[in-house]
A and B are shown apart, each in its own frame.
Chain A
Amino acid sequence: MVDFNIATVLTPEIAMAALALILLAIGLLIPPGARKGMMPLTAFSLLGVLGYTLFDFFHGTKALFLDGLYLHDQFAVYFKVLFLAAALLVVLSSGGYVQKLAEHRGEFYSLIMTATLGMMIMAGAGELITMYIGLELMTISFYILVAYLSDDARSSEAGIKYLVLGATSSAILLYGISLVYGLTGSTQYTEIASGLGANLSPASFLATVFLLAGLGFKISLVPFHLWAPDIYEGAPTPVTAFLAIASKAAAFAVLIRVYLLMMNSQAFSGTGQTLLVVLAALTMILGNLIAIPQTNIKRLLAYSSIAQAGYLMVGIIAESVAGVKGVLFYAMIYVFANMGAFAVATHVSEKQGSDQIKDFAGLARRSPLAAVVMTASLLSLAGIPPLAGFVGKFYLFSAVMDSGYTAIAYIGFVMSMVSVYYYLSVVKVMFLGEGEGLPDIPVHGAVKFTMVFTMLITLAIGIYPTPLAQMAAAAAQSLIK
């Protein structure tokens, strides 16, 4: 273990914590008129942290400290980059939206910060309790964010639902953790792995299932997915975006560590993998099928993101460097694709005052850029070349086929082509409907930047994925020795 300085390694986390508090303070202190400045401030500070983290990714040292409580490997840093990027894009795209909330603008951003911090801790945690703390930090911030439109009944309903279900699920997760602790006497991944070894008591089964359920809830894995659509629909759109992208990615970061380091003992893997295969297949099928008849864009994206979780699971099933690499790669491009879609959704619903798909009619005329970005993002989610989604799926499914699961690949590809059906029906509305009488929707400023940026990234990675692929590969390598 190389020697290192905690300060340097933990800088991002510390910075985020500080920022959260500062923003909170500023939000309270400065007069409402001056709160316009909050968004740029947040954005730039996030950008700074992101920059540092990127640097850290390439030049940081692999470290394991506080008695293995906390890990600092490229895997963790990769995910931190991902969270920060997501947060940044959310903040950028949410500018206009948040303008409408007269009060509590400061809290909004600081809550985003705390949530991000929670995710970063999850990614870095080398031990279950730490992971749990991060998870709760993230989740509780999200409870508030989801219910942020305090005078919108739907928003608060979503909040309540998320709270109850989230709390229940974390309780179950905790129960699992306690059992694991009871079985192995430790909460550190590595020691648990050695502790569990090959002996499989019903208790260890129970523990595993509870852990799986707790994390499966966060990544909205069927059958633990039921909460997602409601919450996504009710929450403020930027929050939905953040929820769909970052919290899922964070849960995946944990799942990969837990699954690959801990659950993956020989005697276990046979059943475990079959089970995961079945669940992943169910996730892809249900997610894509139920998305078809949706009429609300946010709900549609919710189901699509459930399906995406299914694709990501495939990478975990592969149980190989390639698989993890696939997950990392896909998670990253998933950020940009989804952010593009949500940025458009946010913008339109802000101008239109509704999330119905039919209100996108004639968007191609009313706001060509938005329409194009939406199309590109959706097609990337569907995995149509030359957009990034295709390469991502290719990594995932080639990995899983390499590990010998072909059925899941069939299901995955066929379902992603089915998904094209409902993505295209959105595209159809945007391009075919003339949308008479509906006003043009100008796009500018940070939102425009977000849209163009996400689209360009999606396209660029799709055409020339090598850099990102190398990053993902490095991260995957760092995880699996």
Chain B
Amino acid sequence: MNLSNLSVGLSTYLLVGAMLFSIGLYGVFAKRNIIAILMSIELMLNAVNINFVAFNRFVWNQKSGTNYILTGHVAALFVIVVAAAEVAVGLALVITIYRNRQSTNVDEFNWLKW
């Protein structure tokens, strides 16, 4: 029997990435709690990471000389860092607004409109 049929290919990764992304997007649209929304955003960013790594691994894994070109992996690392910073700031802001509004429900954050 051919094991290669069982092998998990690029499309699988991309699919996972896409699903994660969509879930995250849904979370951003649907969740009422600001914390949850931040988490959903994290999901989206991680979907991106999966894409990067997958692409690098399956499509563009050429070498130059002896060492691989790891653009995708590096990009993923950067994204992780940035995401961390983003969430840090995000949580800080959540605290601030909670102090001001005694709520984390985004529906109530509509003082600024029209």
A residues contacting B by CB (< 8 A) are 129, 132-133, 136, 140, 143-144, 147, 150-154, 156-161, 163-164, 167-168, 171-172, 174-175, 177-179, 181-182, 185-187, 229-231, 233-234
Indicate which residue in A181, A231, A234 contacts B72 across the interface (CB closer than 8 Å). A181
Report B-chain residues with C-beta under 8 Å of the C-beta of A163.
86, 89-90, 93
Residues 39-80 of B contacting A (Cβ, < 8 Å)? 41, 44-45, 47-48, 51-52, 55-56, 59-60, 62, 71-72, 74-75, 78-79
Whether A159 contacts B96 by the Cβ 8 Å rule is yes
B14 smallest CB distance to A (angstroms):
8
Whether B78 contacts A133 by the Cβ 8 Å rule is yes
Whether B93 contacts A160 by the Cβ 8 Å rule is yes
Report A-chain residues with C-beta under 8 Å of the C-beta of B101.
153, 156-157
Whether A171 contacts B24 by the Cβ 8 Å rule is yes
A156 to B94, CA, bound (A): 8
**A contact patch SS:** helix
Whether A129 contacts B74 by the Cβ 8 Å rule is yes
Report B-chain residues with C-beta under 8 Å of the C-beta of A147.
93, 96-97
Report A-chain residues with C-beta under 8 Å of the C-beta of B113.
230
Report A-chain residues with C-beta under 8 Å of the C-beta of B82.
132-133, 136, 140
A186 to B52, CA, bound (A): 11
A17 smallest CB distance to B (angstroms):
16
A115 smallest CB distance to B (angstroms):
13
Whether A150 contacts B59 by the Cβ 8 Å rule is no
Question: Binary interface profile of B, 20-51, with partner A (CB < 8 Å = 1, else 0)?
Answer: 01001100100000100110010011011001
Beyond A140-B86, A164-B41, A178-B48, 17 extra complex contacts between A and B, CB < 8 Å:
A132-B79, A140-B89, A143-B86, A156-B101, A159-B96, A161-B112, A164-B90, A167-B86, A167-B90, A175-B21, A175-B47, A175-B51, A178-B51, A181-B71, A186-B71, A229-B112, A231-B112
A172 to B47, CA, bound (A): 10
B37 smallest CB distance to A (angstroms):
6
Indicate which residue in B51, B72, B112 contacts A157 across the interface (CB closer than 8 Å). B112
B85 at the interface (CB under 8 A from A): yes
Q: A181-B55, A230-B112 are in contact. Are A168 and B93 (CB under 8 A)?
A: no
Q: A140-B89, A163-B86, A187-B71 are in contact. Are A171 and B100 (CB under 8 A)?
A: no
B104 smallest CB distance to A (angstroms):
10
B residues contacting A by CB (< 8 A) are 14, 17, 21, 24-25, 28, 34, 37-38, 41, 44-45, 47-48, 51-52, 55-56, 59-60, 62, 71-72, 74-75, 78-79, 82, 85-86, 89-90, 92-94, 96-97, 99-101, 106, 109, 111-113
**B contact patch SS:** helix
Whether A154 contacts B112 by the Cβ 8 Å rule is yes
Interface centre among B17, B24, B74, B75 (most CB of A within 10 A): B75
- Shortest Cβ distance from A179 into B: residue: B51
B80 smallest CB distance to A (angstroms):
11
Whether B97 contacts A159 by the Cβ 8 Å rule is yes
B111 smallest CB distance to A (angstroms):
6
Whether B44 contacts A171 by the Cβ 8 Å rule is yes
Indicate which residue in B55, B86, B90, B94 contacts A178 across the interface (CB closer than 8 Å). B55
Report A-chain residues with C-beta under 8 Å of the C-beta of B93.
143, 147, 156, 159-160, 163
Whether B78 contacts A171 by the Cβ 8 Å rule is no
A174 to B112, CA, bound (A): 28
Whether A129 contacts B75 by the Cβ 8 Å rule is yes
A186 to B75, CA, bound (A): 11
- Shortest Cβ distance from B110 into A: residue: A157
Whether A168 contacts B89 by the Cβ 8 Å rule is no
A144 to B91, CA, bound (A): 11
| In the complex, the 3 A-B pairs of residues with the closest C-beta atoms, listed nearest first | A178-B51, A171-B44, A153-B100
